[in-house]
């Protein structure tokens, strides 16, 4: 799940001119779950734009906008509205915005959301960041708790000296110290041997951006 937040309306409107014809795209998956780019939010944005006396050519919820095939099919179905459009506002993460930009190269693109992190769902509307997609997973060594993500400094070899009450992170005391959790769980699992190993620095070269995955080539 990609967690997103809505940009302030003023930031969105800064890119829209009064003579623009706007097409609004929502996301049926992650942004709907986050309540940032679902039907309700698309509708709300449409009403704001209409209030500003700017033309809205159409709206659509793509399932999902980060799938180029879906985007192409749906834009074809809505070609009358799309043709008329001069500006597309996308309420999706950057992956969705980028696909729309690829598929509609002649249209002005406006990102309506900020993508924040890869979220694990705790309960409806509550997400935690547990994984940074770092490319070399260490979770087998750290009892399933990621120090790269859940330690504010991403320390791979144990906690810093600032752990509060043996439990909380000095950077944000509302967060648990990831290493306190790791050590506790490894003890419970009789895996404290894992704590002796000095983990090597991450290989950031192996997964240098931009990444590409091709199942045929990669498998």
Partner 1 sequence: MKLNELYKTKKFIITAEIFPPKGTNTENLLKKAAILKNHIDAVNVTDNQRSCMRLGALGVSKVLLDNGIEPIYQITCRDRNRLALQSDLLTASVLNIKNVLILSGDHPKNGDHPDAKPVYDLDSIQLIQAASGLNNGKDMSGNILDGRTDFCIGAVVNPTVEPIELQMIPMEKKIEAGAKFFQTQVAFDIKPFENLINYLEKNGLRNKVKIIGGMFLLKSLKMIDFMKKIPGVSIPDAVVERISKSDNQLNEGIKICAESIKTIKDILDGVHIMAINSEELIPDILSKI
Residue 91 or 151: which CB sits closer to partner 1?
Answer: 151
157 near partner 1, rule: CB under 8 A: yes
35 near partner 1, rule: CB under 8 A: no
Residue 205 or 210: which CB sits closer to partner 1?
Answer: 205
- Give the range of 25-33, 39-47, 70-78, 192-200 binding partner 1 by CB under 8 A: 192-200
The angle at the Cα of 174, spanning 172 to 179, to the nearest 5 degrees, equals: 75
152 near partner 1, rule: CB under 8 A: yes
Residue 176 in contact with residue 183, Cβ under 8 Å?
A: no
Tell me whether residue 213 is exposed, middle or buried, using C-beta atoms within 10 angstroms of its C-beta: 0 to 12, 13 to 18, 19 or more: exposed
189 near partner 1, rule: CB under 8 A: no
Q: What distance in Å separates the CA atoms of residue 36 and residue 93, rounded to the nearest whole number?
A: 10
Give the up-direction half-sphere exposure of residue 178: CA atoms within 13 A in the CB hemisphere.
Answer: 23
Query: According to CB under 8 A, which one of 106, 124, 198, 217 is a site residue for partner 1?
Result: 198
Q: Which residues form the interface with partner 1 (CB under 8 A)?
A: 152-166, 170-172, 177, 179-180, 183, 195-196, 198, 200-202, 204
């Amino acid at each position: 799940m990609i967690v997103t937040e809505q940009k302030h309306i003023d930031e969105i409107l800064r890119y829209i001119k009064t003579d623009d014809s706007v097409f609004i795209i929502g996301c049926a998956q992650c942004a709907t779950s986050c309540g940032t780019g679902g039907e309700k939010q698309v509708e709300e944005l449409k009403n704001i734009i209409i209030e500003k006396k700017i033309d809205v050519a159409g709206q659509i919820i793509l399932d999902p906008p980060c799938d180029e095939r879906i985007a192409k099919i749906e834009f074809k179905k809505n070609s009358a509205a799309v043709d008329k459009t001069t500006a597309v506002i996308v309420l999706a993460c950057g992956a969705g915005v980028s696909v729309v930009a690829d598929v509609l190269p002649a249209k002005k693109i406006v990102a309506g959301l900020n993508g924040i992190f890869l979220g694990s769902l705790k309960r409806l509307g509550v997400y935690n960041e547990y994984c940074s997609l770092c490319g070399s997973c260490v979770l087998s060594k750290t009892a399933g708790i990621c120090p790269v993500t859940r330690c504010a400094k991403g320390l791979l070899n144990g906690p810093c000296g600032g752990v509060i009450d043996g439990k909380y992170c000095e950077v944000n005391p509302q967060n648990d110290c990831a290493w306190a959790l790791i050590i506790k769980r490894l003890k419970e699992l009789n895996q404290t041997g894992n704590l002796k190993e000095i983990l090597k620095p991450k290989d950031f070269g192996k997964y240098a951006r931009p990444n590409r995955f091709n199942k045929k080539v990669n498998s």
